[in-house]
Amino acid sequence: MFSFISWFKPSVPTWLIPDTNPLDCVLQGLVGACGISVLCNLLRVYLFVEAQSYADSTDDPKTKSSHNRGLIQRIQFWILTLILGFVGSRVASLVVLEFCLRAVSSRLTAASDPLTDSVLQLLVQCQFSLGCAFNCSLQFLHEGAPQAWLSLLLAAGLSWFLASQCSRLRRHVMAMYPMHSTQRYCGVCIGLLTTGTSILTFLCSALILTFSVASIAAVSSINRHFLSTSEALRFWTPLTICYTLLIIYMQDEQNRQPGGQALLNTVVVRLGGLLVLMLTVGRWADVLHVLVCFTGEAACLLPAQDLLESTSKGAADVSSRSVMKDGDKRRLKKLDKRD
Protein backbone atom coordinates (compact mmCIF):
# COMPACT_ATOMS: atom_id res chain seq x y z
CA MET A 1 0.00 0.00 0.00
CA PHE A 2 2.74 2.47 0.97
CA SER A 3 4.77 1.55 -2.09
CA PHE A 4 1.75 2.23 -4.29
CA ILE A 5 1.29 5.68 -2.68
CA SER A 6 4.98 6.51 -2.97
CA TRP A 7 4.79 5.67 -6.68
CA PHE A 8 2.59 8.79 -7.17
CA LYS A 9 4.80 11.00 -4.97
CA PRO A 10 6.77 13.41 -7.18
CA SER A 11 10.50 12.83 -6.96
CA VAL A 12 12.78 15.81 -6.31
CA PRO A 13 15.88 16.05 -8.52
CA THR A 14 19.06 15.26 -6.67
CA TRP A 15 20.72 18.54 -7.71
CA LEU A 16 17.97 20.48 -5.86
CA ILE A 17 18.75 18.73 -2.57
CA PRO A 18 21.30 20.70 -0.49
CA ASP A 19 24.57 19.01 0.37
CA THR A 20 24.49 20.09 4.02
CA ASN A 21 21.88 20.36 6.75
CA PRO A 22 19.35 23.17 6.01
CA LEU A 23 19.75 24.48 9.57
CA ASP A 24 23.51 24.78 9.07
CA CYS A 25 22.92 26.58 5.77
CA VAL A 26 20.59 29.11 7.40
CA LEU A 27 23.04 29.76 10.24
CA GLN A 28 25.92 30.20 7.79
CA GLY A 29 23.82 32.63 5.76
CA LEU A 30 22.96 34.53 8.94
CA VAL A 31 26.65 34.90 9.83
CA GLY A 32 27.43 36.11 6.29
CA ALA A 33 24.60 38.66 6.35
CA CYS A 34 25.80 39.95 9.74
CA GLY A 35 29.31 40.34 8.34
CA ILE A 36 28.00 42.39 5.42
CA SER A 37 25.97 44.54 7.84
CA VAL A 38 29.04 45.21 10.01
CA LEU A 39 31.09 46.20 6.96
CA CYS A 40 28.46 48.60 5.59
CA ASN A 41 27.74 50.25 8.94
CA LEU A 42 31.40 50.82 9.79
CA LEU A 43 32.08 52.09 6.29
CA ARG A 44 29.20 54.58 6.58
CA VAL A 45 30.52 55.73 9.95
CA TYR A 46 34.00 56.26 8.50
CA LEU A 47 32.71 58.21 5.48
CA PHE A 48 30.41 60.33 7.66
CA VAL A 49 33.21 61.23 10.07
CA GLU A 50 35.52 62.08 7.18
CA ALA A 51 32.83 64.24 5.55
CA GLN A 52 32.15 66.07 8.80
CA SER A 53 35.83 66.78 9.37
CA TYR A 54 35.97 68.73 6.07
CA ALA A 55 32.44 70.12 5.98
CA ASP A 56 31.80 73.79 6.67
CA SER A 57 28.32 73.21 8.03
CA THR A 58 26.26 70.32 9.32
CA ASP A 59 23.08 71.14 7.38
CA ASP A 60 24.04 69.14 4.29
CA PRO A 61 21.02 66.92 3.55
CA LYS A 62 23.20 64.26 1.92
CA THR A 63 24.90 63.44 5.21
CA LYS A 64 21.67 62.84 7.10
CA SER A 65 20.32 59.33 7.35
CA SER A 66 17.08 58.50 5.64
CA HIS A 67 14.07 57.36 7.65
CA ASN A 68 13.55 54.46 5.26
CA ARG A 69 17.13 53.19 5.55
CA GLY A 70 16.34 51.04 8.59
CA LEU A 71 13.53 49.21 6.78
CA ILE A 72 15.66 48.77 3.66
CA GLN A 73 18.54 47.37 5.68
CA ARG A 74 16.28 44.88 7.46
CA ILE A 75 14.83 43.65 4.17
CA GLN A 76 18.32 43.44 2.67
CA PHE A 77 19.57 41.53 5.71
CA TRP A 78 17.00 38.75 5.51
CA ILE A 79 17.23 38.50 1.72
CA LEU A 80 21.00 38.04 2.00
CA THR A 81 20.52 35.48 4.78
CA LEU A 82 18.33 33.33 2.53
CA ILE A 83 20.55 33.79 -0.53
CA LEU A 84 23.81 33.02 1.28
CA GLY A 85 22.18 30.02 2.93
CA PHE A 86 21.04 28.69 -0.46
CA VAL A 87 24.28 29.23 -2.42
CA GLY A 88 26.40 26.09 -2.41
CA SER A 89 29.98 25.92 -1.23
CA ARG A 90 31.32 25.29 -4.74
CA VAL A 91 29.92 28.51 -6.26
CA ALA A 92 30.68 30.48 -3.09
CA SER A 93 34.29 29.30 -3.34
CA LEU A 94 34.50 30.49 -6.95
CA VAL A 95 33.10 33.90 -5.97
CA VAL A 96 35.69 34.21 -3.20
CA LEU A 97 38.60 33.25 -5.46
CA GLU A 98 37.40 35.63 -8.16
CA PHE A 99 37.30 38.55 -5.74
CA CYS A 100 40.75 37.71 -4.33
CA LEU A 101 42.19 37.66 -7.85
CA ARG A 102 40.41 40.91 -8.69
CA ALA A 103 41.59 42.63 -5.50
CA VAL A 104 45.23 41.65 -6.03
CA SER A 105 45.10 42.70 -9.68
CA SER A 106 43.51 46.08 -8.88
CA ARG A 107 46.12 46.85 -6.23
CA LEU A 108 48.96 45.96 -8.61
CA THR A 109 47.59 48.03 -11.48
CA ALA A 110 46.31 51.00 -9.43
CA ALA A 111 49.65 52.13 -8.04
CA SER A 112 49.19 55.64 -9.44
CA ASP A 113 45.66 56.11 -8.02
CA PRO A 114 45.02 57.35 -4.48
CA LEU A 115 45.21 54.47 -2.03
CA THR A 116 42.09 55.43 -0.09
CA ASP A 117 39.99 55.76 -3.24
CA SER A 118 40.73 52.28 -4.58
CA VAL A 119 40.43 50.68 -1.14
CA LEU A 120 37.01 52.22 -0.52
CA GLN A 121 35.76 51.02 -3.90
CA LEU A 122 36.98 47.50 -3.14
CA LEU A 123 35.22 47.58 0.23
CA VAL A 124 31.94 48.50 -1.45
CA GLN A 125 32.37 45.80 -4.11
CA CYS A 126 33.28 42.97 -1.73
CA GLN A 127 29.97 42.78 0.16
CA PHE A 128 28.52 39.64 -1.41
CA SER A 129 31.99 38.10 -1.72
CA LEU A 130 32.44 38.66 2.02
CA GLY A 131 29.24 36.74 2.74
CA CYS A 132 30.45 33.91 0.52
CA ALA A 133 33.81 34.00 2.33
CA PHE A 134 32.09 33.41 5.68
CA ASN A 135 30.05 30.64 4.08
CA CYS A 136 33.16 28.85 2.77
CA SER A 137 35.17 29.31 5.96
CA LEU A 138 32.44 28.08 8.29
CA GLN A 139 31.71 25.03 6.15
CA PHE A 140 35.43 24.23 5.93
CA LEU A 141 36.05 24.66 9.68
CA HIS A 142 32.98 22.67 10.74
CA GLU A 143 33.32 19.87 8.23
CA GLY A 144 32.90 16.51 9.93
CA ALA A 145 31.95 17.99 13.32
CA PRO A 146 29.26 15.87 15.06
CA GLN A 147 27.44 18.89 16.56
CA ALA A 148 28.31 21.60 14.06
CA TRP A 149 25.01 23.40 14.52
CA LEU A 150 25.88 24.31 18.12
CA SER A 151 29.05 26.16 17.17
CA LEU A 152 27.27 27.71 14.19
CA LEU A 153 24.52 28.88 16.54
CA LEU A 154 27.14 30.48 18.79
CA ALA A 155 28.80 32.14 15.78
CA ALA A 156 25.42 33.43 14.59
CA GLY A 157 24.66 34.86 18.04
CA LEU A 158 27.99 36.67 18.25
CA SER A 159 27.60 37.96 14.70
CA TRP A 160 24.11 39.22 15.46
CA PHE A 161 25.43 41.06 18.54
CA LEU A 162 28.26 42.71 16.57
CA ALA A 163 25.90 43.70 13.74
CA SER A 164 23.39 45.24 16.16
CA GLN A 165 26.13 47.19 17.97
CA CYS A 166 27.52 48.53 14.68
CA SER A 167 24.02 49.52 13.59
CA ARG A 168 23.50 51.39 16.86
CA LEU A 169 26.85 53.11 16.40
CA ARG A 170 25.88 54.24 12.90
CA ARG A 171 22.53 55.65 14.07
CA HIS A 172 24.18 57.44 17.00
CA VAL A 173 26.91 58.95 14.82
CA MET A 174 24.47 60.09 12.13
CA ALA A 175 22.27 61.80 14.70
CA MET A 176 24.64 63.12 17.36
CA TYR A 177 28.18 63.33 15.98
CA PRO A 178 27.96 66.91 14.59
CA MET A 179 26.88 68.20 18.01
CA HIS A 180 28.92 65.89 20.28
CA SER A 181 32.17 66.35 18.36
CA THR A 182 32.06 70.13 18.76
CA GLN A 183 30.86 70.21 22.36
CA ARG A 184 33.11 67.32 23.50
CA TYR A 185 30.14 65.69 25.21
CA CYS A 186 30.11 62.01 24.17
CA GLY A 187 33.00 59.59 24.67
CA VAL A 188 32.16 57.62 21.52
CA CYS A 189 32.09 60.72 19.33
CA ILE A 190 35.28 62.09 20.90
CA GLY A 191 36.97 58.76 20.19
CA LEU A 192 35.82 58.89 16.57
CA LEU A 193 37.05 62.47 16.34
CA THR A 194 40.56 61.48 17.39
CA THR A 195 40.90 57.95 15.95
CA GLY A 196 38.14 57.78 13.33
CA THR A 197 40.59 57.29 10.48
CA SER A 198 41.71 53.97 11.98
CA ILE A 199 38.35 52.40 11.03
CA LEU A 200 39.53 51.98 7.45
CA THR A 201 42.77 50.30 8.58
CA PHE A 202 40.79 47.96 10.85
CA LEU A 203 38.39 47.00 8.05
CA CYS A 204 41.25 46.31 5.64
CA SER A 205 43.08 44.11 8.17
CA ALA A 206 39.92 42.18 9.02
CA LEU A 207 39.07 41.62 5.35
CA ILE A 208 42.60 40.47 4.50
CA LEU A 209 42.42 37.89 7.30
CA THR A 210 38.90 36.79 6.33
CA PHE A 211 39.66 36.31 2.64
CA SER A 212 42.98 34.60 3.38
CA VAL A 213 41.19 31.91 5.39
CA ALA A 214 38.35 31.78 2.87
CA SER A 215 40.71 31.30 -0.10
CA ILE A 216 42.28 28.27 1.57
CA ALA A 217 38.82 26.90 2.33
CA ALA A 218 37.67 27.63 -1.23
CA VAL A 219 40.54 25.75 -2.88
CA SER A 220 40.00 22.79 -0.55
CA SER A 221 36.26 22.79 -1.20
CA ILE A 222 36.64 22.85 -4.98
CA ASN A 223 39.37 20.20 -5.12
CA ARG A 224 37.23 17.87 -3.01
CA HIS A 225 34.87 17.38 -5.98
CA PHE A 226 37.60 16.03 -8.28
CA LEU A 227 38.66 12.40 -8.42
CA SER A 228 41.91 12.89 -10.34
CA THR A 229 44.46 15.54 -11.24
CA SER A 230 43.32 15.60 -14.88
CA GLU A 231 39.80 16.57 -13.81
CA ALA A 232 41.18 19.36 -11.64
CA LEU A 233 43.33 20.70 -14.47
CA ARG A 234 40.37 20.54 -16.86
CA PHE A 235 38.45 22.75 -14.43
CA TRP A 236 41.16 25.17 -13.21
CA THR A 237 42.70 25.95 -16.62
CA PRO A 238 39.61 27.53 -18.27
CA LEU A 239 38.68 29.15 -14.96
CA THR A 240 42.04 30.92 -14.65
CA ILE A 241 42.15 32.02 -18.30
CA CYS A 242 38.53 33.17 -18.27
CA TYR A 243 38.81 35.27 -15.14
CA THR A 244 42.17 36.77 -16.06
CA LEU A 245 40.66 38.08 -19.30
CA LEU A 246 37.50 39.22 -17.51
CA ILE A 247 39.48 41.15 -14.88
CA ILE A 248 41.49 42.96 -17.57
CA TYR A 249 38.26 43.85 -19.37
CA MET A 250 36.51 45.03 -16.19
CA GLN A 251 39.39 47.26 -15.16
CA ASP A 252 39.38 48.92 -18.58
CA GLU A 253 35.63 49.48 -18.34
CA GLN A 254 35.87 51.01 -14.87
CA ASN A 255 38.63 53.34 -16.04
CA ARG A 256 36.53 54.47 -19.00
CA GLN A 257 33.22 54.80 -17.15
CA PRO A 258 33.76 55.28 -13.41
CA GLY A 259 30.63 55.12 -11.32
CA GLY A 260 27.83 52.87 -10.18
CA GLN A 261 26.60 51.94 -13.66
CA ALA A 262 30.03 50.63 -14.68
CA LEU A 263 30.18 48.62 -11.44
CA LEU A 264 26.82 46.98 -12.16
CA ASN A 265 27.97 46.21 -15.70
CA THR A 266 31.09 44.46 -14.40
CA VAL A 267 28.95 42.39 -12.02
CA VAL A 268 26.86 41.15 -14.95
CA VAL A 269 29.99 40.39 -16.98
CA ARG A 270 31.85 38.39 -14.33
CA LEU A 271 28.82 36.45 -13.11
CA GLY A 272 27.87 35.82 -16.74
CA GLY A 273 31.34 34.40 -17.33
CA LEU A 274 30.94 32.19 -14.27
CA LEU A 275 27.55 31.04 -15.57
CA VAL A 276 29.02 30.06 -18.92
CA LEU A 277 31.84 28.21 -17.15
CA MET A 278 29.39 26.28 -14.97
CA LEU A 279 27.33 25.35 -18.03
CA THR A 280 30.51 23.93 -19.53
CA VAL A 281 32.20 22.08 -16.67
CA GLY A 282 29.79 22.42 -13.75
CA ARG A 283 26.58 20.84 -12.54
CA TRP A 284 22.96 21.96 -12.72
CA ALA A 285 23.05 22.89 -9.05
CA ASP A 286 26.02 25.19 -9.73
CA VAL A 287 24.13 26.88 -12.56
CA LEU A 288 21.17 27.51 -10.25
CA HIS A 289 23.45 28.90 -7.54
CA VAL A 290 25.14 31.28 -10.01
CA LEU A 291 21.71 32.61 -11.01
CA VAL A 292 20.95 33.20 -7.33
CA CYS A 293 24.25 35.09 -7.02
CA PHE A 294 22.90 37.72 -9.42
CA THR A 295 20.17 38.48 -6.88
CA GLY A 296 22.70 38.55 -4.04
CA GLU A 297 24.98 41.03 -5.81
CA ALA A 298 21.99 43.22 -6.63
CA ALA A 299 20.79 43.10 -3.01
CA CYS A 300 24.25 44.29 -1.90
CA LEU A 301 25.03 46.95 -4.50
CA LEU A 302 21.69 48.62 -5.16
CA PRO A 303 21.21 49.86 -1.55
CA ALA A 304 24.90 50.89 -1.51
CA GLN A 305 24.62 53.60 -4.16
CA ASP A 306 25.16 56.25 -1.48
CA LEU A 307 28.45 54.57 -0.57
CA LEU A 308 29.56 54.63 -4.21
CA GLU A 309 28.67 58.31 -4.47
CA SER A 310 30.49 59.04 -1.20
CA THR A 311 33.65 57.27 -2.34
CA SER A 312 33.71 59.11 -5.67
CA LYS A 313 32.94 62.40 -3.94
CA GLY A 314 35.63 61.71 -1.35
CA ALA A 315 38.18 61.10 -4.07
CA ALA A 316 37.28 64.40 -5.73
CA ASP A 317 37.55 66.21 -2.38
CA VAL A 318 40.95 64.66 -1.70
CA SER A 319 42.26 65.73 -5.10
CA SER A 320 40.88 69.27 -4.67
CA ARG A 321 42.41 69.55 -1.21
CA SER A 322 45.76 68.36 -2.53
CA VAL A 323 45.58 70.98 -5.30
CA MET A 324 44.76 73.66 -2.74
CA LYS A 325 47.65 72.58 -0.55
CA ASP A 326 50.05 72.69 -3.50
CA GLY A 327 48.81 76.17 -4.38
CA ASP A 328 49.30 77.36 -0.80
CA LYS A 329 52.83 75.98 -0.77
CA ARG A 330 53.65 77.79 -4.00
CA ARG A 331 52.28 81.05 -2.62
CA LEU A 332 54.36 80.69 0.52
CA LYS A 333 57.46 80.05 -1.56
CA LYS A 334 56.78 83.18 -3.62
CA LEU A 335 56.33 85.27 -0.47
CA ASP A 336 59.60 83.91 0.94
CA LYS A 337 61.44 84.82 -2.23
CA ARG A 338 60.03 88.34 -2.16
CA ASP A 339 61.11 88.79 1.44
- How many alpha carbons lie under 13 Å from residue 39 in its C-beta half-sphere? 30
Higher-pLDDT residue of 197 and 40 is 40
Dist CA 311 CA 317 (whole Å): 10
Dist CA 11 CA 4 (whole Å): 14
Higher-pLDDT residue of 165 and 282 is 165
Q: What is the pTM of this model?
A: 0.80
Higher-pLDDT residue of 5 and 262 is 262
| Band of pLDDT at residue 32, cut at 50, 70 and 90 | very high
HEC per residue, 26-38: HHHHHHHHHHHHH
Mean pLDDT of 268-295: 81
Q: How far is CA 334 from the centre of its chain?
A: 48
Across the chain, mean pLDDT equals 75
Contact of 189 with 58, CB cutoff 8 Å: no
Who contacts 250 (Cβ-Cβ below 8 Å, separation ≥6)? 102, 266, 269, 270
Q: Could you read off the pLDDT of 167-226 as tens digits, one per residue?
A: 999 988 888 877 776 776 777 888 888 877 788 889 999 999 999 999 999 888 887 766
Mean pLDDT of 265-286: 76
Higher-pLDDT residue of 194 and 136 is 136
| Band of pLDDT at residue 108, cut at 50, 70 and 90 | confident
For residue 226, the model assigns a pLDDT of 66
Mean pLDDT of 129-144: 89
Dist CA 279 CA 268 (whole Å): 16
Higher-pLDDT residue of 55 and 95 is 95
Dist CA 180 CA 54 (whole Å): 16
